């Protein structure tokens, strides 16, 4: 074996001595390949793939390639062999990675992700100091203006407004431009706050600049227009949707960043508690489809995201899944998304829904049950083989059922197909970098249903971290103490017994009997469970549970309305009906030590 290596090595040196160009090929190949592999090493972790295994495969390929290149005597065999050994594992990784990550993060040849992946920071910026670069509606680069360009102030205003909003992790920006004043607001994790803005003249010019990017009619100042474009921030391409309308009072602009990004969740990713998830999954059984599931949330509380997750629970290959939406945010693979608009003077919503039902779908998502005739159509006994997901833009199980009954117009007919109600709110998640642990006071512990004497650590947001003797705003959450949102939900099963009560208009008994039998947590109990597991803080739970936080439902006046429209207190959670008193928001002197160092 040793002599073999020796002979090969001799061969190497003789060929290398004869022709210095050939080794160059080997080294350049090895160099390029190691540059790619070193980039991929950080990518492996991000994609959640097995690090050790992939490091071994990629580096093994690199090494094997180099050895083949060095020790196979004939260059025209050794070099191609090196390439095959080196590139093979990289291609294999590419394929595995694309299968593992969501559509948006896949590497596609010529795709932005791949380009951004290899692009050096800031190369797309022609203007020093700009935070962002822009792409138009067709994804074509819009070069940043030169210093003398008259568009410069408008560009800089857009760069500042959108750049600062993105820096603060905003999902949305709202602008109102009046002749003498501009007001701007950003929404971060569902919380709206004021933002800085430029003068009315510059803001108007900025709006024209953004309209131009989105290929909208710049001269049209009145009619509502919607479009999209892209911004690039730190190599990441972010889709931006804008919607603008004007009146004599001024223009109103709404900007949403990457609206589709939460729309590709599966049911396990929605954030149900384990018992809730099990119940939700149980109605996915293709053998027992049929029936109506109401999905309820006040506007802005993540309803569309949950609705799409429910649709993704049905196999689009074996079930015909259709939707009728007014605001199409995201298309799911295999789902027939149909968009209804009032503007075209075409058929009304329920007629459009009727035509969808006629094509015998298996699953239908209905975005607006308040439209005339829609409830009646869905509840019609001859449609009982179809599973309907019906969005109801109200807060809470009771309000959702009341709205549903109102939409159908007959309490008995409405109760018939009802199988499940999911009501949800969005709750901010504590920032893991700066949350602070504390022991709840006996009073708080009691409200959280913690047995007396049991030691439990709760967490609260601090927004501060310590770096080398200095307390600074936490860089992960920009000092808010929270990063991202999760749903807090109540899953309510309408079983046969509950249905009988409902058909009689007795919502209270229906609610109590189902809660007793299925033992699923109510809204308040769900929120408190998320406090106990450290996902959120007691303060945040109280905020989302207090009626002021979420706009309460439409008036509960139904044609045949159930006797009770307020959710009855279910005896289950120790906290009972009353939300924890606001005084509970102040934990008894928490030990003030930030958990993480950075
Ligand atoms: Zn933080």
Tokens coding 257: 């960043």
* pLDDT tens for each residue of 457-510: 999 999 999 888 899 999 999 999 999 999 999 999 999 999 999 999 999 999
Read off φ and ψ for residue 251, nearest 5 degrees: -105, 145
User: What is the whole-number distance in angstroms between the Cα of residue 481 and the centre of ligand 1?
Assistant: 5
User: What is the whole-number distance in angstroms between the Cα of residue 212 and the centre of ligand 1?
Assistant: 37
User: What is the whole-number distance in angstroms between the Cα of residue 429 and the centre of ligand 1?
Assistant: 10
User: What is the whole-number distance in angstroms between the Cα of residue 45 and the centre of ligand 1?
Assistant: 22
Tokens coding 576: 């009972």
- Yes or no: say if 428 and 497 are a contact pair by the CB < 8 Å rule: no
CATH classification of 132-261 is 3.40.50.300, yes or no?
A: no
User: What is the whole-number distance in angstroms between the Cα of residue 406 and the centre of ligand 1?
Assistant: 44
Q: Which residues are found with C-beta within 5 Å of the ion, ligand 1? A: 431, 433-434, 474, 476-477
User: Cα dist. 371→341, 350, 377, 415 in Å?
Assistant: 12, 7, 11, 19
What DSSP designation does 424 have?
E
Between CA 187 and CA 172 the distance in angstroms is 5
Domain assignments of the chain as residue spans, ordered by start: 2-101, 132-261, 267-585
User: What is the whole-number distance in angstroms between the Cα of residue 436 and the centre of ligand 1?
Assistant: 10
Write the CB contacts of 515 (distance below 8 Å, at least 6 apart in sequence).
492, 522, 570, 572
For residue 332, the SS3 value is: coil
* Angle of helix 51-71 versus helix 2-18 axis, rounded to 10: 70
User: Cα dist. 195→79, 99, 128, 160, 198 in Å?
Assistant: 59, 40, 23, 10, 10
User: What is the whole-number distance in angstroms between the Cα of residue 236 and the centre of ligand 1?
Assistant: 22
Count of helices and strands (H, E) across the chain: 19, 19
For residue 70, the SS3 value is: helix
Question: For the purposes of burial, counting CB atoms within 10 Å of the CB of 244, is it exposed (0-12), middle (13-18) or buried (19 or more)?
Answer: buried
* pLDDT tens for each residue of 154-193: 999 999 999 999 999 999 999 999 989 999 999 999 999 9
User: What is the whole-number distance in angstroms between the Cα of residue 19 and the centre of ligand 1?
Assistant: 59
User: What is the whole-number distance in angstroms between the Cα of residue 539 and the centre of ligand 1?
Assistant: 16
What DSSP designation does 386 have?
S
* Rg of the chain taking only CA atoms, in angstroms: 29
Find, among 579, 477, 459, the residue nearest to 522 by Cα.
Answer: 579
Between CA 29 and CA 62 the distance in angstroms is 10
What is the mean pLDDT of each successive set of 10 residues along the chain, which is 598 residues long? 51 59 80 83 71 83 84 82 86 80 63 53 54 93 89 94 95 94 95 93 95 93 92 93 89 92 89 95 87 95 94 91 91 92 78 93 94 93 94 95 95 95 97 94 83 86 90 92 95 96 95 94 95 94 78 36 40 39 37 39
Say how many C-beta atoms besides its own lie within 10 A of residue 176's C-beta.
Answer: 16
User: What is the whole-number distance in angstroms between the Cα of residue 572 and the centre of ligand 1?
Assistant: 34
User: What is the whole-number distance in angstroms between the Cα of residue 172 and the centre of ligand 1?
Assistant: 20
User: What is the whole-number distance in angstroms between the Cα of residue 265 and the centre of ligand 1?
Assistant: 25
Give the position of tokens 């900007």.
255
The confidence score (pLDDT) of residue 27 equals 82
Between CA 497 and CA 514 the distance in angstroms is 8
The confidence score (pLDDT) of residue 448 equals 81
User: What is the whole-number distance in angstroms between the Cα of residue 38 and the centre of ligand 1?
Assistant: 30
CATH number of 267-585: 3.40.50.300
User: What is the whole-number distance in angstroms between the Cα of residue 592 and the centre of ligand 1?
Assistant: 14
Write the CB contacts of 293 (distance below 8 Å, at least 6 apart in sequence).
283, 310, 387, 388, 389, 390, 419, 420, 421, 422
User: What is the whole-number distance in angstroms between the Cα of residue 173 and the centre of ligand 1?
Assistant: 22
The secondary element (H helix, E strand) that includes residue 308 is: helix 303-312
User: What is the whole-number distance in angstroms between the Cα of residue 478 and the centre of ligand 1?
Assistant: 7
User: What is the whole-number distance in angstroms between the Cα of residue 323 and the centre of ligand 1?
Assistant: 39
The confidence score (pLDDT) of residue 16 equals 58
Write the CB contacts of 239 (distance below 8 Å, at least 6 apart in sequence).
228, 230, 257, 258, 259, 260
User: What is the whole-number distance in angstroms between the Cα of residue 276 and the centre of ligand 1?
Assistant: 29
What DSSP designation does 6 have?
H
Read off φ and ψ for residue 210, nearest 5 degrees: -70, -40
Find, among 334, 270, 285, 172, the residue nearest to 487 by Cα.
Answer: 270
Chain CA centroid to CA 84, Å? 40
Say how many C-beta atoms besides its own lie within 10 A of residue 448's C-beta.
Answer: 22
Between CA 87 and CA 57 the distance in angstroms is 11
User: What is the whole-number distance in angstroms between the Cα of residue 594 and the centre of ligand 1?
Assistant: 10
Find, among 358, 311, 300, 354, the residue nearest to 336 by Cα.
Answer: 311
User: What is the whole-number distance in angstroms between the Cα of residue 133 and the centre of ligand 1?
Assistant: 28
Write the CB contacts of 197 (distance below 8 Å, at least 6 apart in sequence).
157, 161, 175, 182, 183, 184, 203
Say how many C-beta atoms besides its own lie within 10 A of residue 355's C-beta.
Answer: 12
The confidence score (pLDDT) of residue 579 equals 39
User: What is the whole-number distance in angstroms between the Cα of residue 536 and the centre of ligand 1?
Assistant: 13
- Yes or no: say if 280 and 273 are a contact pair by the CB < 8 Å rule: no
Which residues in 74-140 belong to E strands, given as ranges?
A: 132-135
User: What is the whole-number distance in angstroms between the Cα of residue 195 and the centre of ligand 1?
Assistant: 21
The confidence score (pLDDT) of residue 1 equals 47
User: What is the whole-number distance in angstroms between the Cα of residue 131 and the centre of ligand 1?
Assistant: 23
The secondary element (H helix, E strand) that includes residue 53 is: helix 51-71
């Amino acid at each position: 074996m040793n002599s073999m290596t020796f002979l090969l090595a001799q061969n190497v040196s003789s060929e290398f001595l004869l022709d210095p160009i050939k080794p160059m090929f080997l080294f350049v190949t090895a160099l390029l390949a190691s540059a790619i592999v070193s980039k991929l090493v950080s990518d492996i972790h991000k994609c959640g793939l097995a690090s050790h295994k992939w490091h071994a495969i990629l580096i093994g390929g690199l090494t094997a390639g180099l050895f083949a290149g060095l020790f196979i005597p004939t260059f025209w065999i050794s070099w191609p062999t090196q390439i095959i050994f080196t590139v093979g594992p990289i291609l294999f990784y590419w394929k595995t990675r694309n299968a593992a990550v969501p559509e948006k993060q896949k590497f596609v040849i010529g795709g932005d992700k791949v380009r951004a992946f290899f692009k050096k920071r800031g190369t797309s910026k022609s203007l020093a100091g700009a935070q962002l670069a822009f792409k138009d509606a067709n994804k074509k680069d819009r070069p940043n203006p030169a210093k003398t360009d008259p568009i410069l102030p408008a560009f800089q205003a857009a760069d500042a407004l959108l750049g600062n909003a993105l820096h603060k992790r905003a999902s949305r920006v709202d602008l109102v431009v009046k002749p003498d004043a501009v007001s701007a607001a950003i929404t971060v994790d569902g919380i709206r706050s004021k933002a800085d803005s430029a003068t009315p003249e510059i803001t108007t010019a900025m709006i024209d600049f953004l309209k131009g990017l989105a290929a909208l009619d710049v001269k049209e100042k009145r009619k509502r227009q919607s479009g999209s474009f892209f911004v690039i921030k730190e190599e990441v391409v972010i889709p931006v949707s804008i919607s603008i309308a004007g009146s004599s009072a001024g223009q109103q602009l709404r900007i949403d960043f990457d609206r589709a990004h939460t729309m590709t969740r599966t049911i396990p990713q929605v954030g149900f508690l384990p018992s809730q998830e099990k119940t939700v999954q149980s109605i996915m059984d293709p053998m027992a489809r049929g029936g109506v599931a109401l999905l309820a949330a006040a506007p802005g509380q993540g309803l569309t995201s949950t609705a799409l997750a429910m649709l993704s629970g049905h196999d689009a290959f074996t079930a015909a899944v259709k939707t009728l939406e007014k605001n199409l945010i995201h298309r799911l693979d295999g789902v027939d998304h149909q968009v209804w608009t009032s503007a075209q003077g075409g058929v009304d919503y329920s007629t459009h829904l009727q035509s969808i039902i006629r094509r015998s779908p298996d699953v239908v998502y209905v975005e607006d049950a308040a439209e005339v005739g829609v409830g009646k159509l869905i509840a019609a006994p001859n449609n009982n083989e179809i599973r309907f997901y019906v969005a109801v833009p109200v807060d809470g199980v009771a309000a959702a059922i009341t709205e549903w009954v109102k939409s159908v117009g007959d309490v008995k007919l409405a109760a018939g197909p009802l199988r499940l109600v999911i009501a949800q709110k969005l709750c901010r998640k504590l920032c893991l970098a700066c949350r602070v642990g504390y022991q709840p006071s006996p009073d708080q512990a009691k409200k959280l249903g913690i047995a007396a004497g049991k030691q439990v650590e709760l967490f609260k947001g601090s927004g501060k971290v310590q770096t080398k003797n200095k307390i600074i705003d936490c860089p992960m959450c920009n000092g808010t103490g929270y990063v991202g949102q999760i749903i807090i939900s109540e899953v309510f099963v309408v079983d046969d017994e509950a249905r009988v009560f409902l058909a009689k208009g007795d919502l209270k008994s229906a609610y109590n009997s189902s809660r007793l039998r299925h033992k699923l947590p109510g809204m308040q109990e769900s929120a408190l469970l998320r406090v106990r597991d450290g996902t959120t803080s007691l303060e945040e739970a109280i905020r989302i549970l207090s009626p002021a936080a979420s706009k309460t439902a439409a008036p509960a006046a139904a044609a045949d309305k159930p006797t009770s429209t307020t959710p009855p207190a279910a005896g289950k959670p120790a906290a009972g009906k009353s939300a924890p008193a606001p005084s509970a928001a102040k934990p008894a002197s928490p030990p003030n030590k930030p958990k993480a160092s950075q």
